[in-house]
Amino acid sequence: LRNGYGETVYCESKTAEQIEGILHSFQKMGSNVMGTRVKPEQYTYLKERFPELIYHPEARIIMLMDHPVEQVGMVAVCTAGTSDIPVAEEAALTAEFFGSRVDRIFDVGVAGIHRLLARTEEIRKANCVVAVAGMEGALGSVMAGLVENPVIAVPTSVGYGASFGGVSALLTMLNSCAEGMATVNIDNGFGAGYMANQINHLAVGAGKKEA
């Protein structure tokens, strides 16, 4: 890990007891720990055993932060709609967990392009942009055309009918005509936040020194 003390656990298909064990062992090793895809009932069980545990219900993330983490540089996390916010929060919290400052810019989808243009200067300040969008997923392309730094696009499963659970947005992003964009799996806010943090740390110079 970039900053030496962050571990992640993918909790989707683990029992609360299994997660408890993993948290304990990482804690003993001196790491902060973050869990993704945590259901409320898993949290309830874990909170009794780890009173300092923090839960972000929208992003379904838990964090055990035994060690303070300084947040440096800047990552912008943007969404097309409000339904994309849970995935965006997964990305934003992941980047913060690993030591990035994050600017959240939500609900700037391309069907109302002027809301996005009004925020362009702010977005350009980030070392890396995460663009989260479902349905037609066009935010990534427009964004990559507006900023100079890398854009990581996250398709979401928001939509119905021919959105096919995020496939429409995924294809849009993969086929972008704009330069400087790459894509992660549908709803994978974690993956986007992780890579945005890597890039942000390379940019602020922390990366090189610790490697």
Ligand X SMILES: Nc1ncnc2c1ncn2[C@@H]1O[C@H](COP(=O)(O)O)[C@@H](O)[C@H]1O
Q: Which is nearer to ligand X, 12 or 205 (CB)?
A: 12
Q: Tell me the pairing of strands 151-155 and 128-133.
A: parallel
The residue range among 58-66, 95-103, 144-152, 198-206 that interacts with Mg ion, by the rule CB under 5 A, is 144-152
Q: Which is nearer to ligand X, 177 or 209 (CB)?
A: 177
Residues 74-133 binding Mg ion (CB under 5 A) are none
> Of 109, 129, 131, 132, which one interacts with a second copy (CB under 8 A)?
109
The residue range among 25-33, 34-42, 80-88, 177-185 that interacts with Mg ion, by the rule CB under 5 A, is 177-185
Q: Which is nearer to a second copy, 30 or 205 (CB)?
A: 205
The residue range among 23-31, 43-51, 58-66, 76-84 that interacts with a second copy, by the rule CB under 8 A, is 76-84
Smallest distance from the beta carbon of 48 to ligand X, in angstroms?
Answer: 21
HEC sequence for the chain: CCCCCEEEEECCCCCHHHHHHHHHHHHHCCCEEEEECCCHHHHHHHHHHCCCCEEECCCCEEEECCCCCCCEEEEEEEECCCCCHHHHHHHHHHHHHCCEEEEEECCCCHHHHHHHHCCHHHHHCCCEEEEEECCCCCHHHHHHHHCCCCEEEEECCCCCHHHHHHHHHHHHHHCCCCCCEEECCCCCHHHHHHHHHHHHHHHHCHHHHHC
Smallest distance from the beta carbon of 192 to ligand X, in angstroms?
Answer: 10
Q: Which is nearer to ligand X, 185 or 205 (CB)?
A: 185
Query: Which residues contact ligand X (rule: CB under 6 A)?
Result: 8-10, 36-37, 81-82, 177, 179, 188, 190-191
